[in-house]
């Protein structure tokens, strides 16, 4: 089992920045990919970014150049640094983690970007 707890959401003006954190616990050794999805009101949950176990990172096109995913292995924490935020980035952001058997989700953290 893997447990994920997000933090760092909030209200920010367009053009501002936020940093989300995802603290992982449990069977950390089994994780082969960890990252973020987001879900805007009335829309499906969409993938945002992933960091692979070997360190490679991938981003959804609309966040490239604005968002940065990183990890702190010592603290079992993954971050999503979000810069140049836009109103369309408003969503609940969910941390996820994959192992060979399951996908795990955090509870989500709200990000609201005002225009």
Q: Are 96 and 104 in contact (CB under 8 A)?
A: yes
pLDDT bin (cut points 50, 70, 90) of residue 7 is very high
8: left (phi over 0), alpha (psi -120 to 50) or beta: left
Per-residue pLDDT at 47: 98
pLDDT digits (tens, 9 = 90+) for 13-24: 999 999 999 999
Per-residue pLDDT at 54: 87
Within a 13 Å sphere around the CA of 41, how many CA atoms are in the beta-carbon half? 6
Per-residue pLDDT at 55: 87
Per-residue pLDDT at 53: 87
pLDDT digits (tens, 9 = 90+) for 52-110: 988 899 999 999 999 999 999 999 999 999 999 999 999 999 999 999 999 999 999 99
């Amino acid at each position: 089992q893997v447990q994920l707890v997000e933090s760092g959401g909030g209200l920010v003006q367009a053009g501002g920045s936020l940093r989300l954190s995802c603290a992982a616990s449990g069977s950390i050794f089994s994780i082969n990919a960890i990252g973020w999805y987001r879900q805007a009101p009335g829309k499906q949950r969409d993938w945002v970014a992933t960091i692979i176990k070997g360190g490679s990172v991938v981003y959804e096109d609309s966040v490239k150049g604005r968002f940065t995913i990183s990890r702190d292995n010592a603290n079992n924490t993954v971050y999503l640094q979000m810069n140049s935020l836009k109103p369309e980035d408003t969503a609940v952001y969910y941390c996820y983690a994959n192992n060979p058997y399951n996908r795990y989700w955090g509870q989500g953290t709200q990000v609201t970007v005002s225009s």
